[in-house]
Chain A
Amino acid sequence: MNKRFALIAVLLSLFVAGVFAGGASEEEPGQINLKWQVWVTPNLTREFYASAAETYMQLNPGVQIEIIEANAAGGGEGAVDFIRNRLAAGDVPDIWTNVMDAIFIEAGHVWEIPADDPDLQRVKNLELAAIDGKYYSFVAHIQPQGSIFYNKSMWAEAGLTEADIPTTWAEFEAVCETIKAAGFVPIMAGGEWTAWALFQWFLNAEVVKNHPNFWTEYEAGDVRFSDPEVVAVGEFLDRLVKNGYLIEGQLSIGYAQLEQGFLGGSAVMYPMGTWYTAADKAADKDWETGVFVYPSRDGVQNFFAGYGVGGNTMRIYSGSENPEAAWEFVKWFHMDPEYGADFIEADGLYSNLDPPILYDMTPLQREVNDLFQATEISTPQIIEYVGGPAPSGITDVFQSVIEAIITQTYDSLEAEFAKIDAFVADSM
């Protein structure tokens, strides 16, 4: 009997093997193949990445770059989810873009860059990118997010002047009230799943400036989301919603559509990262855009620097067969006078190199730059690494809390913020 089952097994495996006789992929000898996972946004288009790869391949005939676009397969969040799947599958791109989750570094999947590379001497304050004293990427460009843009002609039409630019919450709310009274929508939102970003920006402006090592302090028990100073941010956002200052329907409208909405004059103020300045430049509109830093409760302002955000962060897979070649490409992409400039111009970034890579800035982009230089404190992203790594997927619970505030469906704000603590406790 056993023999027969063995026979069946053999027959079956022959059958399977026969049907599934597969072919191996062919590779040219001496050729270096790099797979580059990219992050596509309205600014950083597929075509943009393709032309960068094309140019590099022409300059370096031995290198073949294949572009892979991260997609939301499996229901996760973009690039992080994509890389996790690819890691599980064993088909990992050599170069990752916008994959910031600290878990990959902890797991040893990220290649340590040579911090003594002479090219890195051009990078200002290189230590910004250090994680436990090691380097996995460098900050070639800064992408400030601590800015609220506004439509100058609607601003004036509502009877406001430059003197009305708010620095405190109270002033900001007064501005909103004036705008609303003039019949305009005060605040444009990010849309759909990006609602947590607004939450994070106001958290940064108020909380992270006082807790420069937020996650280390959190682990030590010195700070909690249910602390009154943090809940105050929720109360502030709650007042904005209750008074009708935010655009209606933001949770079911896409990012690109809302950006178009602001450009088309649907709202007066637009809290958004400086990548907006690139869209602003490209837009065909007959009004000027102004910008100011996030207000805070006491008026002490800080600027959310956004080190290593979006298309700005590139990391190299530790299992890559050609990490050095990948590293050369990453440096070229960030530091080449021509392509580096195209890149930062396309995404509204600011060079962190010395000498800086310059491009033809619009007045708005220069204004952001001046604001950024003039603001004393600047903070990194609370969802990634502030003194320590943030728990994976914290944006899920941020999103849920801000949605409860936007839709006014919470029991109490304290309970909502306690949910964030419960989430962190469950993750640590």
Chain B
Amino acid sequence: MIGRLKRNINTIRFQTALLFVPGFAIYACIILLSIVLAFYYSLFDWDGVRNSMNFVGFANYVRALRQPAFLNSLKVTFFFAVIGTALVNVISISLSAQLNRPGNLTNFYRSAFFFPQLISMVAIGFIFKSLFSYIGIVNAILERWGLPLVDFLGDPALAKWTVLFVSVWQITGFGTVIYLAGLQAIPQELYDAAKIDGANPWQRFTSITFPWLAPSLTSVTVFIFTGYMRMFDFIFVLTGGGPVNSTESIAILVIRIGFNQFKISYASAVSMYFLVLVGAISMAMTYFLRRREEVLIN
């Protein structure tokens, strides 16, 4: 009897492993191994071209902290991540609240907002460049109306807002669709009851809508925040990190020092900082938001 039980446990263990291993092995052999390799490179002075590799310990990590470019890229990345996430949330919650009413146009609007999800960031970048270049379409219109021209992508104070605008434009549709689904899951009776109790629209929003949206808020926020932290394509196509490094996010910086300047090891050290940072933030965020969710629901 005990032998059979043991065999059963063994069988279950074996079968669990059988289900687990294929997917995890492929992931581990490519992605995890790459991260480990990047860490390994970060301890050397490899340039990616020559065969010589000298061990330098954590010198590349110290070097990053001393470099204004690294600190600047942190600032830029957080600018995009914090303001972008906040804007996307506010806009998509408001849009979904507007859309969550009976009306035959709802489907049309939802499709319109979702369209930007369908095309590549490269394509989006090129379309918006034709809009926002100094001699682009927007300035042509401003000129026709006799208004002063604006250098949306060439002015360091403005370029990051332009990039932010384009990213919000792209991501909001995603948030809207998810919040809309969250809203549609709220039982209508709750609102009816609140109306009978004499609650005004704002009270109804804070006491019913917002708490019920909490799970969507968590996933949208974490998903979008980490997405912003990784942002590369938009910046690459729109500004390449300029002007004066004002849009140089960490991902752009890593590519620049690794690929343009042939400092693969140094770039790897920056990537390691990046990985730890994003990992810590998203875990803290998930933890915090999930707890808030529980508080709100109870």
Contact = CB atoms under 8 A, between A and B. Distances in A.
A and B touch in the complex (CB under 8 A): yes
Interface of A: 1, 4-5, 8-9, 12, 15-16, 74-77, 80-81, 84-85, 87-88, 101, 103-104, 106-107, 109, 192-193, 248-254, 257, 261, 391-393, 395-396, 399-400, 403-404, 406-407, 409, 419, 426-427
A84 B50 CA distance: 11
A84 B262 CA distance: 9
Contact of B245 (A5, A75, A400): A400
B293 interface: no
B132 interface: yes
B151 A193 contact: no
Interface stretch (B153-161, B175-183, B275-283): B153-161
Instruction: With a 10 A CB-CB cut-off, give which of A80, A251, A393, A399 has the most chain B CB atoms.
Output: A251
Contact of B17 (A4, A257, A395, A409): A4
A427 B261 CA distance: 8
A396 B263 CA distance: 13
Q: Which 6 A-B pairs have the closest CB atoms?
A: A249-B134, A393-B261, A251-B154, A252-B153, A252-B154, A76-B259
Interface of B: 10, 13-14, 17-18, 21-22, 25-26, 47-51, 63, 67-68, 132-136, 149, 151-157, 232, 236, 240, 242-245, 252, 255-257, 259-263
Contacts of B245: 400
Nearest to A72: B236
A15 B240 CA distance: 42
A15 B262 contact: no
B149 A249 contact: yes
Contacts of A15: 22
Contacts of B49: 84, 87, 103-104, 107, 109
A109 B245 CA distance: 32
19 contacts: A5-B21, A12-B21, A75-B236, A76-B260, A81-B259, A87-B49, A103-B262, A104-B49, A106-B50, A193-B240, A249-B133, A252-B132, A252-B154, A257-B135, A393-B257, A396-B260, A399-B242, A409-B156, A419-B68
A86 to B, nearest CB: 11
A85 B257 CA distance: 14
A103 B259 contact: no
A103 B245 CA distance: 25
A213 B22 CA distance: 59
Given A109-B49, A396-B261, A407-B154, A253 B134 contact: yes
Contact of A251 (B63, B153, B262): B153
Nearest to A247: B134
A215 to B, nearest CB: 16
Contacts of B135: 249, 253, 257, 261
A244 B50 CA distance: 46
B17 A5 contact: yes
A257 B136 CA distance: 11
Nearest to B256: A396
Contact of A248 (B21, B25, B151, B257): B151
Given A104-B49, A249-B134, A81 B260 contact: yes
A407 B259 contact: no
Contact of B50 (A4, A107, A393, A427): A107
Given A81-B260, A107-B51, 12 more contacts: A75-B232, A75-B259, A103-B50, A106-B50, A249-B134, A252-B151, A252-B154, A261-B135, A399-B242, A400-B244, A409-B244, A426-B67
B22 A12 contact: yes
A404 to B, nearest CB: 5
A333 to B, nearest CB: 26
Contacts of A406: 243
B72 to A, nearest CB: 10
